[in-house]
Amino acid sequence: MTRRMMENLRGREYGYILLDIIFGLFIFSFGFIILLDLFTVSETESIEAENYICAVNIARSTMDEIIQNIKNDNGKVAEYLEQSGSESSEERYKKICTFEWGEVSGVLDILVEIHWKEKKEIRVYCLESCCYVET
């Protein structure tokens, strides 16, 4: 290297300028914000899934109980038909059971609806089944 090149190199200062640091912090904070948003979304989705699973479990257990009662005692059918459309509550879930005779003779249509409030909206899960009743 020549003498002039050496002098030019010594006169320069190497390092980061403020703009580089600000740009790096901007990129880091943008990524961090996206990461926090993902955690929030996943928590919300997790709560929604938990509510849905709970509604499915309530509907399934109710349906199992109704069908088991009908199989054990055909006289329960008249009671269920009288109570058709009645509401009951489990925790924050509202349960509505509807019973009606189907188009085929001896077939009882059973509908269990579960209602719950989520994000200021009413969500509904419906479970429908047909049960043959010997007369």
Per domain, the residue ranges of the chain are 3-132
CA distances from 1 to 5, 11, 75, 105, 131 (A): 6, 15, 107, 104, 96
Q: The tokens 């085929």 sit on which residue?
A: 104
pLDDT 10s digit of each residue in the chain, 135 long? 566 655 555 555 566 688 888 999 999 999 999 999 999 999 999 999 999 999 999 999 999 999 999 989 888 888 888 888 888 888 899 999 999 998 888 899 999 999 999 988 999 999 999 989 886
User: How far apart are the two ends of the chain, measured CA to CA in Å?
Assistant: 109
What is the amino acid identity at position 36?
Answer: L
For the whole model, what pTM was predicted?
A: 0.74
Taking the C-alpha atoms of residue 53 and residue 42, their distance in angstroms, rounded to an integer, is 16
Query: Do residues 113 and 96 touch, judged by C-beta distance below 8 A?
Result: yes
Q: Specify the DSSP class assigned to residue 123.
A: E
